[in-house]
Structure 1
Amino acid sequence: MEDTLTEPELLGKIAAGDRIAFSTLYQLHLSEIYHYLYLFTKSTDAAEEIVQDVFVKIWEKRENLIHIKAFKPYLYKCAKNMLLDEFRRNAVKSKVYNALKPDTEESHGKTDDRIIYNEYHKIAEMAIDLLPEKRKAIFLMRTREELSLDEIAERLGISKSVVKKQLYAGIGFVRQYLHNHDAYFMLIAINLYLNTL
């Protein structure tokens, strides 16, 4: 029984790819980490999304778990990093929205920023066009149509995990493409497309 294992034994099983052990770990820590994240986000949806991302990241890097002496500090560090990423995305998103507002007396000085933004928007468009067709379709359904992962999975007749895997691969490619093209404002361009991720 997974619930009778010590923490190192449980982590060892997960590191070896045991999904049942991972489910046990998830259930053990879900409520606590959700409440921790909710304290900062004040949003049920945001807290739930970050929790899912945290555990997806832990599963993706499960081989590292055998080196973890105590899981809880590791979990909270992962959650904190994801939370900071979310705050950064929201800060950039706010700048993007402000830059795209119609001209007012306050926004006349932002013309240069808009020009730069538009240039990197074009670079992001080129990156998206280079994605394989299926990955591109998933990427656009999520970012332009603002469909949920479940809705995309249903529309394409594939599993949610496949959608998530393809979406993350697409995001990684776009980010790397922008980085390779020295996009100083690449986070602005990314957030045009990833504002719900």
Structure 2
Amino acid sequence: MIPDYSIYDDSKLVSLLIERDNMAFSEIYSRYWPILYKHAYRMLKEEHESEDVVQEVFTKLWQRAPSLQTDISIGAYLYMATRNAILNFFSKNQVHHAYLVDLGSFLDQAQEITDHRIRERILSKLIEEEIEKLPPRMREVFELKRKQNLSYKEIAGVMNISELTVKTQMNKAISTLRTKFGNNLPFFFISL
């Protein structure tokens, strides 16, 4: 007789999934697909793309099943995987700005602290990628200010340039980043 997997809690299903149990995978899929689809649809606003994102998440879950930790929260894992898949989708389609606008409104909703940290890391990564694209001198000025918290005068001394040049380079760097991220550029990433 085949056991009723619907009575198993998530931790039991994860243990079985790690052992490559198809029925455990099917139960996890049945439990979480509708929730993940709704989340993907809310962010993507397109049926087929939302379905593709969620399908990709479950495909990767099956592929990575043997390496999962037994104490993993499968709901949190799938939610984070869906968020990452959505980010990858946006990244591939060059619509970071639209995502950040949606993310801004999404931030207004009550979420767990873990979710906030994940979003901060994602935003930080996107901003770091844009900082890497800055011209070398501008990037050096920006990073000396942001990472080492040096004053304009100190930066001018380190780089052997004038304070006015430092200020000009900082303003251009911030302007470039604001052009990429609009008003959604988080203040805590550029606290000057």
Q: TM-score, normalised by structure 2?
A: 0.46
Computing the radius of gyration over CA atoms, which structure comes out larger, 1 or 2? 2
The structure with higher relative contact order (CA 8 Å, sep 6+) is 1
